[in-house]
Every structure is written in structure tokens, then in C-alpha cells.
């Protein structure tokens, strides 16, 4: 019987399997390194893209902030212009108010009443003056109520004082100036020449005998 020694053949197969294993391990290692490298490249690209987007967003946000500041500045300028326009319109609509006020004070002031001060704050006018009696003050208040430019007389204070060694009544009276003239009347009714309103003296009457 012939005997065959298989040990070299088995050793060759074992060595071949070892070589295949080493080759496969090296291939898998190279593949793993390639996958890791590719993943790193992709992640780095995404990070760079996101950083670029963040930079763009920051730039746009800065531009928007500047635009918002400009809008706020323009809004403030618009409000200031509107306020000035309102003031100008108010002055234009009431530019003759002082004339009407002084005219009505002369017209509505009865005999025996003299004014010391006239103060105006907006539409409110405060009169301080002297009257020979309380009835004269009542007449002044009635005249104010019937005036086309004055309204709402309010007696704040009246007291007896000595003026030029005479007893007179010092009064403080508040009233309102009508901002708009009565309907269909752009100015107070004219008084015929040489005549004063009913129950009142001519415009020059208060100056007669007025205290110094």
C-alpha cells in the first residue's frame, strides 16, 4: 500500500487562508479609513456651508437692524413734522383769536368794571379786575355768555379792597374762548357807529376814570 504525505498540501492551504485573511483585513481597514475620511470631508463641508449661512444671516440681520434704525428715525421725523404741522394749523386757525378776545373784552365790559390783568392759557382766559359792585360783575358774566366769541364765565373770587381810598370789589373771573366762530358768522356782529351794545358803553368807556 502506497502512503501519501498530505502535510505540505495542508500547510500550503493554511498559508493561503492566512494570506487571504490578511488581504481581507487590510482591505477592510482601507475601506474603513476611506469611509471615515469621506464622512469627515462631508461633515466639514456641511460645517463650512452652515458657517457661510450663519455669516450671511448675521450680515442680513445687521442690514435689517440698520434699516430698522432708519425707519425709527424717519418715524420720529414724521411725528415731529406732524406735530409742527398741527401747531402751524392751530396757529393759522386761531391767528385772529387775540384780536377777537381784546375786541370782545372792550365790547362786553360794562361801566364801572376795570381790568387789571388778562391771562390766557390755551382756550381758558382769566381776568382780574375791579368792579364798583357785585352787580357789575354779574352784568359782565351775562355779557360774556351772550358773546359770539366768549363762553362759560366762572367767578373764581371776589373780595372788597381799598383802591385810591375807595371801596371796590376785586374779582377773578375765568372764561373760555370759542375756537370756532358761530355758524354762518365769521366775525362778531358789527355795532352801528356811535352806538354800543345794549346795556354797555362805547369801546372807549372803560378808559374813563380807570385807576392808574
User: Measured between alpha carbons, how far is 100 from 200 in angstroms, rounded to an integer?
Assistant: 18
pTM of the predicted protein model: 0.45
Q: How far apart are CA 201 and CA 198, in angstroms?
A: 8
Which residues on neighbouring strands pair with residue 175, listed in sequence order? 125
Q: Considering Cα of 189, then 192, then 196, then 197, what sign does the dihedral take?
A: negative
Helix, strand and coil in the chain, % to nearest 5 = 55, 20, 25
Taking only the tens place, the pLDDT of each residue in 50-100 is 999 999 999 999 999 999 999 999 999 999 999 998 888 777 766 777 888
Give the integer Cα–Cα distance in Å for 149 and 84: 26
Which grid cell is 179? 375756537
Q: What percent of the chain has pLDDT over 90?
A: 48
Is 107 in contact with 144 (CB distance < 8 Å)? no
Instruction: Summarize pLDDT for 26-42 with one digit per residue, the tens.
Output: 989 999 999 999 999 99
C-alpha 201/C-alpha 157 separation (Å) is 25
Amino acid at each position: 500500500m502506497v502512503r501519501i504525505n498530505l502535510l505540505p498540501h495542508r500547510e500550503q492551504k493554511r498559508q493561503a487562508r492566512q494570506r487571504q485573511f490578511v488581504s481581507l483585513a487590510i482591505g477592510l481597514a482601507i475601506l474603513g479609513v476611506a469611509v471615515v475620511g469621506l464622512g469627515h470631508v462631508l461633515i466639514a463641508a456641511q460645517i463650512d456651508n452652515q458657517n457661510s449661512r450663519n455669516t450671511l444671516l448675521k450680515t442680513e440681520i445687521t442690514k435689517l437692524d440698520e434699516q430698522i434704525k432708519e425707519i425709527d428715525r424717519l418715524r420720529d421725523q414724521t411725528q415731529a413734522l406732524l406735530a409742527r404741522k398741527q401747531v402751524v394749523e392751530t396757529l393759522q386757525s386761531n391767528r385772529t383769536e387775540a384780536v377777537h378776545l381784546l375786541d370782545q373784552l372792550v365790547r362786553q365790559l360794562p361801566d364801572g368794571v376795570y381790568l387789571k390783568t388778562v391771562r390766557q392759557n390755551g382756550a381758558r382766559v382769566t381776568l382780574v379786575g375791579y368792579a364798583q359792585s357785585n352787580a357789575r360783575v354779574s352784568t359782565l358774566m351775562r355779557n360774556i355768555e351772550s358773546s359770539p366769541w366768549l363762553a362759560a364765565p366762572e367767578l373764581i373770587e371776589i373780595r372788597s379792597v381799598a383802591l385810591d381810598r375807595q371801596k371796590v370789589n376785586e374779582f377773578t373771573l375765568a372764561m373760555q374762548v370759542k375756537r370756532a366762530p358761530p355758524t354762518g358768522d365769521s366775525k362778531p356782529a358789527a355795532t352801528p357807529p356811535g352806538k354800543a351794545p345794549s346795556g354797555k358803553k362805547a369801546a372807549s368807556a372803560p378808559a374813563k376814570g380807570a385807576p392808574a
